[in-house]
Amino acid sequence: MPEFACPPGLVCRPTFWNIPVWLQVAVYLGGLVAVIIFGYGFWQRVQPLRKGKGKFTWQPLNERLRLWFTHGVLTKKVALDLQPAGLMHAGIMWGIAALFVGTALATIDADITRPLIDPTRWRLLQGDFYVYYKAILDIFGALAIIGLGIALVIRYGIKPARLDGRSGKRFFREDLWVVGSLFVIVLTGFLIEILRLAAQPIESAKLHEAITYCTTCSIIGWPLSRLLAAVDLNALLVLHQLTWSAHMVVALVAAAAVPYTKMGHLVVSSANTFFKKLEPPGAIPAIQDIENQETFGISKLEEFTWKQLLDFEACTRCGRCQDNCPAALTGKALSPKNIIVKMFELGRTKTPPALHGEVVDAQELWDCTTCLGCVNACPVSIDQLGTIIDLRRYLTLSEGSVQPSGANAMNSMERQGNPYGLPKADRHTWMQGLEVSFADADEEYDVLFWVGCAGAYDVRAQKISKAFVKILQTAGVKFAVMQEERCNCESARRLGNEYLYQMATLENVEALKQYKFKRIVTTCPHCLNTLKNEYAQFDGKFEVVHHTQLINELLASQRLAPKQSAHQTITYHDSCYLGRYNGIFDPQRQVLQAVGANLVEMQRARETGLCCGGGGGRMWLEENTGTRINTKRVEDVIAVNAQTVASACPFCLSMLDDGAKALSVDEKIARKDIAELVAESL
């Protein structure tokens, strides 16, 4: 056994203890081969991305580095989840990461500092630093073992539904390889330490003191090594050498295999997070120069952007998107995970089948409510919704294959300026007797009230508009309604009809620019998202607030003073387009508390709130498969024993009304917009 020179009186890492020179050389050669295979694998994965469309940018670098560190390195969305899957990922991720850093430091110590610096004077892994190094590696090694154990139980014992679908036998075996190889690497790493501590002879008092000082930090290896104290020394040395060899073989093979297995997500998913879309989540990219486009949407893999192709590579098939998809939760055809996995598999097919019809069924695409639940849940920053919208655009604009009810709604938007098919002249009849003025180009207003089609035409939603007008008048807010207002065709855009949307947008932006106002206020989150986040794409930059935000401001400034308390148990349903799309969660709850409501939260609330089922143009489509999404949401309301469910979106209110009637709780649970509750309290 070779001597390892250390500075006098200090302990240092016994690099290659009990390992013959020929085996050391073999490991370095194996490491070189593994690096070459590793690099070639990722070079192959990068090549298809270069064929994708779109501009490549690193900017803004600071923001991208922040996202990469918090979501790519710290894996914020997963590691901080206290559920078994989150604890599993935290143990594996941080455990393996710490062991990798430990191995890197050992390599530096052996291959850089030792050749360059006299080891009897200084070593990197020596003294107190080495003590803490050993303790930390033992702790994180144990975390990795625990995490890998949980992974085996979840994947092969519990077998959650979200891991099924298109994972198939291939991925089932691949997962076993990934988890199994990591388990072997960590376990053999511990065995190497245990065998070395059991076999390392004590040749002098000074060495005895140094070893004792060090082994106290091997909090797992040292106690277990005592169990082998009676084993023959030669047997320990042979076992140590065999275990070390097995450890290195599995580690090198696993490292070389990273680009070819799910482990590749360590690199690809981090890159995907770095290049995450930084625009507002609610802003769908516009089709530029739409009048001169020959094709619309996506019908072939090569028509995707490079970032979308990176999305497909980054998917780990964890199924979190599926668990948060209202369509998947209610037994419909759509699984956002399967959409992405299908695109990944399509890129690996030598003779690719037709994307539409053979790979993706149209019903899968029409099932999407565009609630953003999948995007919000994805731990590796995949934009499933963007892919679905692009696929819808092809069906709508190139194939004209929208459901008849959806096509009728879009025809009405184009001809009558509203999806209900009602006369343009009736848009403002709801205002009769309310003393509401039309905007005058010579006047300046505190707010311009964008009513929206629901608030103008839907009989139930008109009550919301009237309640909000009462609030504005009571608070003395100078406001007006734009006479030229027409449907912004947000639903049409999400159904894939970008042409109709752009036509309506240019018309509305031109009309809005005639008037002077500080802010636009609307009772519809879909209108809010469109005017706030998407009109900027067409030179329409306006400050837009939701009516609950303005009401909350008026209450806080005491321009509104509730005179009677709600005195009832109320739960609040988060609108997807207000919450996940725009991060507006608190004003609604603050308003409800201000009017004296006993506020109770549903299990699925705020960022994880369940969609009502009416978004993404689904308001105008038939729902003929699975359980109705709105009834699923009303079941959440029933579960908290609420007397009233409050909403802040006319579409949500309509869907909750239908759900309550379907479940025969129409008389038991009231459905009201927050504006109605506030107006009642004045």
Residue 354: burial class (beta carbons within 10 Å; 0-12, 13-18, 19+): exposed
What mean pLDDT comes out for the span 81-93? 74
Q: Kindly tell me the burial class for residue 50, based on how many C-beta atoms sit within 10 Å of its own C-beta (0-12, 13-18, 19 or more).
A: exposed
Token representation of residue 288: 């530029």
**pLDDT tens for each residue of 232-287:** 888 999 999 999 999 999 999 999 999 988 888 888 988 999 999 888 887 899 99
Closest CA to 186 of 96, 263, 264: 96
* Three-state secondary structure call for residue 27: helix
More confident residue, 249 or 163: 249
Query: Do the Cβ atoms of 572 and 646 come closer than 8 Å?
Result: yes
pLDDT digits 0-9 by tens, 324-363: 999 999 999 999 999 999 999 998 888 889 999 999 999 9
In this prediction, residue 2 carries a pLDDT of 43
Residue 168's pLDDT is 52
Over range 594-600, report the average pLDDT: 93
Give the 3-state secondary structure of residue 546: strand
The pLDDT, as a whole number, for residue 208 is 47
Instruction: With a cut of 70, say whether residue 152 has pLDDT above it.
Output: yes
> On the CB side of 55, how many CA atoms lie within 13 Å of its CA?
5
Q: What percent of the chain has pLDDT over 70?
A: 93
Could you tell me the CA-to-CA distances from 31 to 181, 243, 252 in Å, in that order? 17, 18, 6
Residue 205 has pLDDT above 50, yes or no: no
**How would residue 456 be classed by pLDDT, with cut points 50, 70 and 90?**
very high
pLDDT at 113: 77
Each as own residue / partner, the long-range contacts of residues 218-223 (CB below 8 Å, 24 or more positions apart, any chain) are 218/134, 218/135, 218/138, 218/193, 219/135, 219/138, 219/139, 220/138, 220/141, 220/142, 220/190, 220/193, 221/138, 221/190, 221/193, 221/194, 221/197, 222/197
Would you say residue 51 has pLDDT above 90? no
Strand, coil or helix: what is 348? coil
Which runs of consecutive H residues, i.e. helices, occur in 258-319?
Answer: 265-274, 306-314
d(CA 604, CA 629): 13
453 pLDDT above the threshold of 80:
yes
Question: Of the candidates 423, 400, 385, 577, which has an alpha carbon nearest to the alpha carbon of residue 499?
Answer: 400
Asked whether the predicted pLDDT for residue 5 surpasses 70, the reply is: no
Given this model, what pLDDT does residue 199 score?
83
Per DSSP, the three-state class of 616 is coil
Beta pairing class for 444-450 and 516-522: parallel
Q: Is the pLDDT of residue 166 over 60?
A: no
> How many other CB atoms sit within 10 Å of the CB of residue 591?
28
Domains in the chain (CATH in brackets) are 21-47+82-260 (1.20.950), 290-401 (1.10.1060), 417-556 (3.40.50), 569-681 (3.40.50)
How far apart, in whole angstroms, are the C-alpha atoms of residue 570 and residue 587? Answer: 15
Q: What digits encode the pLDDT tens for the residues 551-589? A: 999 999 999 998 888 789 999 999 999 999 999 999 999
Is the predicted pLDDT of residue 680 greater than 90, yes or no? yes
Residue 367: predicted pLDDT: 96
Question: 105 φ, ψ to 5°?
Answer: -65, -40
- Exposure on the CB side of residue 168, measured as CA atoms within 13 A: 6
- pLDDT, residue 549, reads 98
- 310 pLDDT band, cuts 50/70/90, is very high
Q: 202: helix, coil or strand? A: coil
End-to-end CA separation in angstroms for the chain: 88
Higher-pLDDT residue of 519, 58: 519
Name the band, by pLDDT with cuts 50, 70 and 90, for residue 59.
confident
In this model, does residue 496 exceed pLDDT 80?
yes
CB half-sphere exposure, 638, CA atoms < 13 A: 17
481-495, 564-578, 637-651: the lowest-pLDDT one? 564-578
> How confident is the model at residue 510, as a pLDDT?
96
| Nearest one of 476, 431, 477 to 457, comparing CA atoms | 431
Q: CA-to-CA distance for 384 and 448, rounded, in angstroms?
A: 34
pLDDT band at residue 8 using 50, 70 and 90 as cut-offs: low
H or E segment at 23?
A: helix 21-46
Mean pLDDT of 533-546: 96
- What is the predicted pLDDT for the residue at 10? 64
Residue 207 has pLDDT above 50, yes or no: no
For range 294-303, the mean pLDDT: 90
Tell me the pLDDT band of 214, cut-offs 50, 70 and 90: low
In degrees rounded to 5, what are phi and psi of residue 139? -65, -50
DSSP per-residue string spanning 480-492:
EE-TT-----HHH
Average pLDDT, the chain: 89
Angle between helices 306-314 and 384-393 (to 10 degrees): 130
